[in-house]
Amino acid sequence: MSGSKWLYFLAAGLVLACGCLLLAGIFGPGLVRTLTRSATPKPDFDATLQALISAPTASSVASTPTVAAASGRPSGHIVLTCQIYKYQSSNQICIMNADGSGYRRLTAEDGVQHYYPSLAPDGRSVIYSQYREDNVYEIYELSLTDGVATRLTDKLGVLNSPEISPDGKSIVFMRWTPASDQYQVWLMDRDGNRPRRGFSGTGWDPTWSPDGNLILFASDRAGSNQLYAVNKDGTDLQQISDLPAIRGRSDWSSQDLVATYSGEPWKHEVYVMNSEGSNQHEVAPPGGNSQGPSFSPDGAWIAFTAYFDKPHDDNGCEIYVMRTDGSDLRRLTNNDYCDYQPRWGP
């Protein structure tokens, strides 16, 4: 894969905050700096915001809540990338309750890029990618009990979109290096041992099936970007989507549905389909530039990034939730910076 094509795909993960760049073929030096530099001078912000992003406390999210019935209100926690300094190179990881309350910052290094968070199956930790040096992003796991972050990898390359398997034993993630110049799906043990490539060919934005036996991922192996499912041992690869170019991170629900997003710049829409690819249909209300869907633990709701209330504003992306049929749309965040890459968990 050429360097320009690599930038094209990596932009989908890095630049959700600007819907217009997700499909653009031309990128300015700001994006390149995001990939190679750890810090950008950050603006001052007032005491109110400081209080909002205060350090985590053990009591606020350490326990695992009971998931509400499918007909009830959304519950659990949503972890996300919060662009509190309005610079991608200073992205942080934040968390909130599923109703938008309890919003707070988890990561502490102001000038370091953190992104692609997801919650552990037991809800007691968050796993994410963090900049280390040029062409090196490491995977970290942060305990929600004591706030301690543990680095799991050591200079494997640019790593992102990590997710812990449903049984808590393995981690799937994306790896890129200058030598390979290719997005690849990799696996490792929960503690970071035995990192290994999952299968041949391109792949990015992996996620687990509810039973942990399959991996869902995006790839351009057949031309356009589509979703594929493969056994965790790399066998029985199947294309499951047929949409006009999948754009990025998808999810697989406990009700055996798959959610993804597709569309032109500033016109992205969330789609839901059966896990084998049948019944593909739009679900988000139109016009929101909706992207990055994540199912609630009970499979009844979808969290996603959208611009319904701040269209065409690069800092206007907020986190919304809706039922899986697209009804009952609710906005959870309301900040003057971008909140994106939501991932729902207990």
| Tally of structural domains, the chain | 1
Radius of gyration from C-alpha coordinates of the chain: 18
pLDDT of residue 197: 98
Distance between CA atoms of residues 240 and 227, nearest Å: 6
Among residues 239, 220, 322, 223, which one has the least CA distance to residue 278? 239
Distance between CA atoms of residues 183 and 83, nearest Å: 25
Please give the single-letter amino acid code of residue 327: S
Q: With 50 as the cut, is the pLDDT of residue 322 above it?
A: yes
Does 289 reside within a domain?
yes
Q: With 80 as the cut, is the pLDDT of residue 13 above it?
A: no
Distance between CA atoms of residues 205 and 168, nearest Å: 19
Q: How many Cα atoms are found within 13 Å in the side-chain-facing hemisphere of 315?
A: 10
Distance between CA atoms of residues 20 and 266, nearest Å: 6
For residue 154, the enclosing domain spans: 3-57+76-345
Does 102 reside within a domain?
yes
pLDDT of residue 248: 83
How many helices (H) and strands (E) are present in the chain, helices listed first? 4, 24
**Phi, psi angle pair for 331, to nearest 5°:** -90, 135
Please give the single-letter amino acid code of residue 231: N
Model confidence pLDDT, tens digit, residues 76-114: 999 999 999 999 999 999 999 999 999 999 999 999 999
The band of 232, judged by pLDDT with boundaries at 50, 70 and 90, is: very high
Does 157 reside within a domain?
yes
The band of 162, judged by pLDDT with boundaries at 50, 70 and 90, is: very high
Does 177 reside within a domain?
yes
Residue 27 burial by Cβ neighbours in a 10 Å radius (0-12, 13-18, 19+): middle
Does 163 reside within a domain?
yes
Does 68 reside within a domain?
no
Neighbours of 271 (CB within 10 A): 23
| Residues 214-228, mean pLDDT to the nearest whole number | 96
Model confidence pLDDT, tens digit, residues 239-298: 999 999 888 899 999 999 999 999 988 999 999 999 999 999 999 999 999 999 999 999
Model confidence pLDDT, tens digit, residues 331-342: 999 999 999 999
**Cα 216 to chain center, whole Å?**
14
In 3-state terms, what secondary structure has residue 177?
coil
Q: With 80 as the cut, is the pLDDT of residue 199 above it?
A: yes
Does 62 reside within a domain?
no
Distance between CA atoms of residues 274 and 290, nearest Å: 20
The CATH number for 122's domain is 2.120.10.30
User: DSSP secondary structure string, 69-119?
Assistant: PTTS---SEEEEEE-TTS-GGG-EEEEEETTSTT-EE----TTS-EEEEEE
pLDDT of residue 8: 41
Q: Using CA of residue 94, residue 97, residue 103, residue 108, what is the dihedral sign? A: negative
